[in-house]
């Protein structure tokens, strides 16, 4: 299993053709307390870069883009009651949705962890 990052601060863990998507710890820190997460329903399909989920903090709502194309297997139901999971564990329990990748080749355009860390360091 390997983890990829986007410049919009999403991460995706890939296991075979299944991807798990969330936002990075850096992103949650920037957003502050997350109060609501709107995760996509099963069966929804996205092209890379589509609006896929919404996270709301007290003062801002931010769109989460699909880091890769695919169709949704499940949204993280736990976020419905405990949106704060994104703050506590953004890159673990705070995942947003799983999807079946339709074009694994798209992963080539994403960053690995070291590249993302370097990217964030420059912000």
Partner 1 sequence: MRYLPLTPDDRRAMLATIGAASIDDLFVDVPEHARLSGPIDGLPNHASELAVERHMAALARQNVAAGDVPFFLGAGAYRHHVPASVDHLIQRGEFLTAYTPYQPEIAQGTLQMLFEFQTQVARLLGTDVANASMYDGSTACWEAIVMARRITRRGKAILSSGLHPHYVSVARTMATFTGDAIEATAPCLDAGPDTASLIDRIDDDTSCVVVQYPDILGRIGDLSDLAAACHAKKALLIAVVTEPVALGALKSPGEMDADIVVGEGQSIGVGLQFGGPYVGLFGCKQKYVRQMPGRLCGETVDADGKRGFVLTLSTREQHIRREKATSNICTNSGLCALAFSIHMTLLGEAGLRDLAAINHAGAVAAAERLARVPGVTLVNDAFFNEFTLELSKEARPVVRALADRGVLAGVSLGRLYPNEESLANGLVVAVTETTTAEDVETFATELEEVLA
Partner 2 sequence: MSINQSGWRPEAPQTGNADAPTFTGNRALMLEEPLIFEIGSTETTGVDFDDSGAPAQGHKLGNLVRTAPIGLPGLSEPEAVRHYTRLSRQNYAIDLGLFPLGSCTMKHNPRLNEKVARLPGFADIHPLAPVDTVQGALGVINELAFWLIGLTGMYGVAMSPKAGAHGELCGILCIKAALEKRGEGHRKVVLVPESAHGTNPATAAFAGFTVEDIPATAEGRVDLAALKARLGQDVAAVMITNPNTCGLFERDMKAISDAVHAVGGYVYCDGANFNAIVGRVRPGDLGVDAMHINLHKTFSTPHGGGGPGSGPVVLSEALAPFGPLPFTARYEDGHIRLIEEETAGEDHPDSFGRMTAFHGQMGMFTRALAYILSHGADGLKQVAEDAVLNANYMLRSLDDVLDAPFGPSGPCMHEALFSDEGFAEGFTTLDVAKALIDEGYHPMTMYFPLVVHGAMLVEPTETESKAALDQFIGALRSVAARAKTGDESLKTAPHFAPRRRLDETLAARKPVLVWSDPALAQAAE
- Residue closer to partner 2 by CB (options 75, 83) is 83
Radius of gyration, alpha carbons of the chain: 13
- Residue closer to partner 2 by CB (options 12, 90) is 90
Q: Which does 7 bind (CB under 5 to 8 A by kind): partner 2, partner 1, none?
A: none
Q: Which does 42 bind (CB under 5 to 8 A by kind): partner 1, partner 2, none?
A: none
* Cα–Cα dist 17/53, whole Å: 20
To partner 1, the closest distance from the beta carbon of 80 in angstroms equals: 11
Q: Which does 17 bind (CB under 5 to 8 A by kind): partner 1, partner 2, none?
A: none
DSSP assignment string, the chain:
-EEEE-TTSEEEEEETTEEEEEE-HHHHHHH-SEEEEEPPPTT-EE-TT-EEEEEEESS-EEEEEPSS-EEEEEE-THHHH-TTHHHH-TTTTT--EEEEES-GGGGGGSB-HHHHHHHHHT-
88 in contact with partner 2 (CB under 8 A)? no
78 in contact with partner 2 (CB under 8 A)? no
To partner 2, the closest distance from the beta carbon of 38 in angstroms equals: 13
List binders of partner 2 among 33-62 (CB under 8 A).
33, 35-36, 56, 58
User: Which residues would be at the binding site for partner 2 (CB under 8 A)?
Assistant: 33, 35-36, 56, 58, 83-84
């Amino acid at each position: 299993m390997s983890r990829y990052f986007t410049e919009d601060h999403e991460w995706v863990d890939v296991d075979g053709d299944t991807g798990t998507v969330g936002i990075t710890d850096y992103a949650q820190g920037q957003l502050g307390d997350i109060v609501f997460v709107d995760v996509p329903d099963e069966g929804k399909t996205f092209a890379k870069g589509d609006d896929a989920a919404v996270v709301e903090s007290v003062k801002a709502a931010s769109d989460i883009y699909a880091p890769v194309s695919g169709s949704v297997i499940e949204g993280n139901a736990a976020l419905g009651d405990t949106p704060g999971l994104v703050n506590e564990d953004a890159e673990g329990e705070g995942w947003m949705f799983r999807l079946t990748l339709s074009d694994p080749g798209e992963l080539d355009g994403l960053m690995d962890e070291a590249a993302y860390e370097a990217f964030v360091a420059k912000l």
